[in-house]
């Protein structure tokens, strides 16, 4: 079973381990994509990766075409919100692994049945570490059974955002 990694691009670029691994980079977004593929951070080449960046497309990435890596720019919303939407809209959450150090994202995606890996674990996987286990199979047996106990949100992320917008209109006049 191949996995689908959803990667918070700037979360990795701003991490100290990435800046040490990629010494001087004038184009950090492009360096990240090359680094992911060169180091085979997603494991098998059959695994898919989606890198989500904040903001609008960068010119240097316009011609970048790497099999297995999709690039998404969040545009008017944050990359965190875009990642949450991608997970929520997916019908295959069990094979999704989100790479981020953001605690809010980790809690949210785990409540939906997806997995998460911290940036340090993703960049420097150690043998028998949880991130290595995720690359081979998304749910270790004992954690697979614990997922049933997680609270399921009654509202979708999009519904929560709509409610927040309504409340902002009322309270922030």
Q: Which range among 17-21, 47-51, 139-143 has the greatest average pLDDT?
A: 47-51
Query: pLDDT band for position 162 (50/70/90)?
Result: confident
Evaluate if pTM is beyond 0.85.
Answer: no
Helices (H), 41-98: 79-89
- For 149, the token pair is 């106990």
DSSP SS3 for 8: strand
CB 48, CB 4: distance < 8 Å: yes
- For 100, the token pair is 């981020």
Give strand pairing partners of 73.
Answer: 53
In the predicted structure, residue 96 carries a pLDDT above the cut 90: yes
Greatest Cα pair distance, the chain, in angstroms, is: 54
Residue 90 neighbours by CB under 8 Å, 6+ apart: 4, 96, 114
pLDDT tens across 45-63, in order? 788 999 999 988 876 665 5
Nearest of 51, 85, 78 to residue 66 by alpha carbon: 51
Residue 170 neighbours by CB under 8 Å, 6+ apart: none
- For 130, the token pair is 């949880």
Nearest of 43, 7, 20 to residue 137 by alpha carbon: 43
Position of tokens 């690039």?
71
């Amino acid at each position: 079973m191949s996995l689908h990694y959803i990667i918070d691009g700037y979360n990795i670029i701003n991490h100290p381990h990435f800046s040490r691994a990629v010494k001087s980079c004038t184009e950090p977004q492009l360096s990240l994509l090359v680094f992911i593929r060169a180091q085979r951070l997603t494991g098998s080449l059959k695994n898919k990766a989606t890198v989500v960046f904040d903001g609008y497309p960068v010119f240097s990435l316009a011609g970048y075409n790497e099999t297995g890596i999709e690039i998404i720019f969040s545009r008017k919303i944050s990359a965190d919100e875009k990642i949450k939407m991608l997970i929520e809209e997916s019908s295959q959450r069990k094979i999704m692994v989100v790479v981020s150090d953001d605690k809010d994202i980790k809690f949210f995606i785990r409540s939906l049945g997806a997995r998460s890996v911290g940036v340090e674990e993703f960049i420097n996987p150690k043998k028998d570490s949880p991130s290595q286990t995720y690359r081979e199979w998304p749910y270790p047996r004992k954690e697979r059974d614990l997922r049933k106990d997680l609270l399921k949100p009654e509202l979708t992320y999009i519904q929560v955002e709509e409610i927040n917008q309504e409340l902002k209109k009322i309270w922030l006049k």
